[in-house]
Amino acid sequence: MRSDTVKMGVEKAPSRGLLRAAGLEEEDFSRPFVGIANSWNEVIPGHIHLNKLVEEVKRGIVEAGGVPFTFGVPGVCDGIAMGHAGMRYALPSRETISDCVELMVQAHCFDGLVGVSNCDKITPGMIMAIGRLDVPAMMLTGGPMMEGDIEGRKLDTQSVFEVLGEYAAGKVDEKAVWEVERCACPGEGSCAGLFTANTMACLTEAMGLSLTGCGASLAISREKRQIARATGRRIVSLIKKDVRPRSIVTRKSLVNAVMVDMAIGGSTNTALHIPAIASEFGHEVDLKVFDEVSRKVPHITSLRPSGPYYMSDFSKAGGVPVVLKRLKALLSDEMTVSGKTIYEIASEARITDPEVIRPVAKPFHKEGGIAVLYGNLAPKGAVVKQTAVSEKMMKFTGVAKVFDSEEAAIAAITGRKIRAGNVVVIRNEGPKGGPGMPEMLTPTSLIVGMGLSDSVALVTDGRFSGATRGPCIGHVTPEAFDKGPIAAVKDGDKIRIDIPERKLEVLLSDAELSTRLKKAKPVDRKPKGILLKYRELVTHASEGAVCR
């Protein structure tokens, strides 16, 4: 066992002495050591219950003959960080989390690892470390919260952001904002729609790293606690059999995850996370894969933010196993940490609501959730959640209103300076330019709340929250900081968006674009600390914004 390095032989007396001080008994030194990366904290609703789940994981590990060791990792709540400088730290935290897990596992020679996580950057950060380390490992995602309710009207986090747009447009008063704020998020769990946290939880299950049913089982459910305990037992079995994550997460497993992503209409952030995860597992899954899969895998469930259903509905309908059943003919039959293959899980799945998770022949949309656009404005690609765009806006030409920061765009939107027919361009918010590539749920929600989502588009080299809906195109690459074409756009330029044809263009001649780019001066926010380090190391968004 790897842990023999710190516990076997007379020369290891010092480390054994310290481990005894941590509570180990004599018989523990012959057992597998299992690290538990726990992202519990008292800030994020999706994490406040993780200690309870960790206790179940620990019980399972002990029952199976292992020794559990819990350690913490940081976590940023994107909703709380949204709309201010704190959001620049969210995506960089993914790399920090990955590094923290690597540090703890390698320094203490754990035989295996369980990542207990929830929310946007924490889950992919842990999975990246799992791929890098390749010691027996599993994930336990903490589950969605229930949706909120006001007199029968269902709500979630997105509702709070969008009611601010209604308030800015004079449609509701401050009391209505307070009422939505008070009721939208009723308790523990990741936000109740198919935002990035729940998307990544579902894809973790689809790629084979968590037990069957883990992705959609609710935070408050008995099922989640049972899965947690079973995860503890199972990791010890994987250690004893030396089943390593790189034998589970193959390139075909990752493509399976992209297929599930397209079928459920997941967050555009997966176009950053899956390539980054693939890289750590020694594979390449680029934006072309996303678009190829999207063209052949239909959208078969319609969850918030773009649809009427919530994660609780998806869970009741059978969750990821039912999606696998629907897609079985398209998927590769890969092994999972449960010991069952994808086909076995699909065959055992029970369809309980054929409207919430439809058959492939009766989809909500013929194509999958994400489209990748190219053109003179995005030579290396840009992404849009096409299933969240109305038919009216699938093809749109509008007049650019350009902003060099999210804050400036928010001020213009709330100041009612954006009109029907505009394309809001927010630049210098990419991985390097931000730095940190902040999410932009605030401006997108304001546009929706003000009733402009069928007449105004948004284009940015930053990214969007999983809660974003409407014609919002992000990850424009190259970004403005690297003198990408978005740096040359001016107020009044016409921008053409054609999602069916996968086009994103500014209607300028090549000569004019080239002349402008020579004069363009990227915004340098002169970052310090972790943001400076991130800017120096981070790659393009089209490569997953990984640090190298």
As annotated, the active-site residues are 465
Tell me the helices (H) and strands (E) count for the chain, helix number first.
21, 14
529: left (phi over 0), alpha (psi -120 to 50) or beta: left
In contact, 295 and 367? CB cutoff 8 Å: yes
Please identify which residue in the block is written with the tokens 């729609």: 193
> Which residue, 134, 141, 133, is CA-closest to 103?
133
Give burial (CB, 10 Å; 0-12/13-18/19+) of 244.
middle
Please identify which residue in the block is written with the tokens 């299992």: 34
Question: How many residues are present in the chain?
Answer: 548
Please identify which residue in the block is written with the tokens 């393009």: 540
Gap between the Cα atoms of 403 and 522, Å rounded: 12
Gap between the Cα atoms of 310 and 145, Å rounded: 10
SS3 93: helix
- Quick one: DSSP state of residue 89? G
In contact, 98 and 128? CB cutoff 8 Å: yes
> Which residue, 35, 546, 541, is CA-closest to 278?
546
Helix ranges (DSSP H) in 338-431: 342-348, 406-414
SS3 307: coil
Cα 403 versus chain centre, distance: 26
Gap between the Cα atoms of 475 and 381, Å rounded: 7
Gap between the Cα atoms of 148 and 334, Å rounded: 37
Find the angle CA(349)-CA(226)-CA(147) to the nearest 5 degrees: 75
